[in-house]
Structure 1
């Protein structure tokens, strides 16, 4: 979040310098830039942390059950469908010593996962604060990094030794497709039950928080522009 610190520092210095020099334009530009940058910084902070007396803060850890449910639905409805399992078994991969789902993961469209994340935020008490910084459009720059990180995480899960061993053992049983679906669902369910609000917060932070720093930068820039307009118009 160095971008946020630098933006707030520049805005603060401009405000103090304008006040010291008695320069109304510099003071107003700096003050408006500082207010915009701090407001957006607070909005980003409130996504991940609970702030006393500020209702709606800490929405990510507070809604971690919704994230867990969305991840489970994604895995079962996009990856481990009967069609995908049947295709996997029919090409003989089930007998291999290693199981690689990388190609399948790369072909899956994870846009719905990102849309679900945006929808959770929009339907939460954080929505008014999000609207102040541009609404859901402000989150769109994080879409590609989010999808890339999600694919990496899913690949790591699918390539773990426990996952591979259980998958191969299940392929040897009767009614393998239905049994396999149930076993995979159970593995995912148990793993998701190990997640805590703190861990969910850290996962989401790793995906998008560094990119949210640009909200602070643009808040400072647009705040400065508005301040410049305000300072110039007061001279008429």
Structure 2
């Protein structure tokens, strides 16, 4: 079962249990349950709003709205990090028939792609709301799985038949012409990515790695509610 909904159920259970208890304990349980539910649901909604348009909530669906800028950032990263004329020329000289760019891709720092995604989200109208609930830390756990996914996709592009045919055909035509051909191939492959595909990919990672964000929202909310009931 999804841990976010489990957290919500526990919070609702605390509220229900408060009506079976008398005295100060009733108020403490009710406050803890309501605050826990508020914290968990708010974090759940913030994560949901990254990917889906929510009626009357301006700034929701930022991944879909900023899809073009994310795709352009990926293209720039791919071309500028390892498909430069210098790196291509180096591989041409060392391998004549088949070039395997996997080692270079494995060593490439894909952090700029994540930074572009993070910047797009934080500069969006929803950035202020995210800032209220942890800011950049809200999606920090997305970084490593996101970078691994992008690296795997880039390796797949470099090993595709069209890519290898272009490299072999233009092996001795010079790195400048080859770079142009690679640019065209990468552009064509990235054009196959749709907003829905990117949304589903990142959404899967969010659910898998940030589910605890909802749990901790409930825990901290419950703690705040309990402390508030004891102080008032």
TM-score by length of 2: 0.93
The equivalent of 1:156 in structure 2 is 156
The equivalent of 1:84 in structure 2 is 87
The equivalent of 1:233 in structure 2 is 231
Kindly provide the CA deviation profile for residues 102-136 of structure 1, in whole angstroms up to 9, marking residues without a partner as x. Answer: 21011111111111111111111110121121001
Bigger shift: 207-216 or 144-153? 207-216
- Contact residue 149 and residue 207 of structure 1 kept, 8 A: no
Kindly provide the CA deviation profile for residues 171-228 of structure 1, in whole angstroms up to 9, marking residues without a partner as x. Answer: 14x3x21111111111111222233221221232234342122221111111011011
Q: What pairs up with 1:134-149 in 2 under 5 angstroms? A: 134-149=134-149
- Contact residue 133 and residue 215 of structure 1 kept, 8 A: no
2: distance between equivalents of 1:102 and 1:82? Answer: 17
- Contact residue 11 and residue 37 of structure 2 kept, 8 A: yes
2: distance between equivalents of 1:94 and 1:14? Answer: 69
The equivalent of 2:97 in structure 1 is 95
Q: 1:179 to 1:208 in 2, by over 3 A?
A: farther
What secondary structure, in the 3-state scheme, does the structure 1 residue paired with 2:29 have?
Answer: helix
Aligned residues between the structures:
229
The equivalent of 2:9 in structure 1 is 9
- Contact residue 70 and residue 113 of structure 1 kept, 8 A: yes
Q: 1:90 to 1:206 in 2, by over 3 A?
A: farther
* Post-superposition offset of 1:86: 1.5
TM-score by length of 1: 0.91
The equivalent of 1:197 in structure 2 is 195
Bigger shift: 65-74 or 16-25? 16-25
What secondary structure, in the 3-state scheme, does the structure 1 residue paired with 2:210 have?
Answer: helix
Bigger shift: 44-53 or 146-155? 146-155
What secondary structure, in the 3-state scheme, does the structure 2 residue paired with 1:53 have?
Answer: coil
* Post-superposition offset of 1:83: 1.6
Is 2:214 aligned against 1:216?
yes
* Post-superposition offset of 1:26: 1.0
Q: Which structure 1 residue ranges, 5 or more long, are not aligned?
A: none
What secondary structure, in the 3-state scheme, does the structure 2 residue paired with 1:100 have?
Answer: coil
1: distance between equivalents of 2:42 and 2:204? Answer: 22
Is 2:51 aligned against 1:45?
no
Kindly provide the CA deviation profile for residues 113-161 of structure 1, in whole angstroms up to 9, marking residues without a partner as x. Answer: 1111111111111101211210012222222222122211111121122
RMSD: 1.6
- Contact residue 146 and residue 208 of structure 1 kept, 8 A: no
Bigger shift: 130-139 or 223-232? 130-139
Is 2:59 aligned against 1:56?
yes
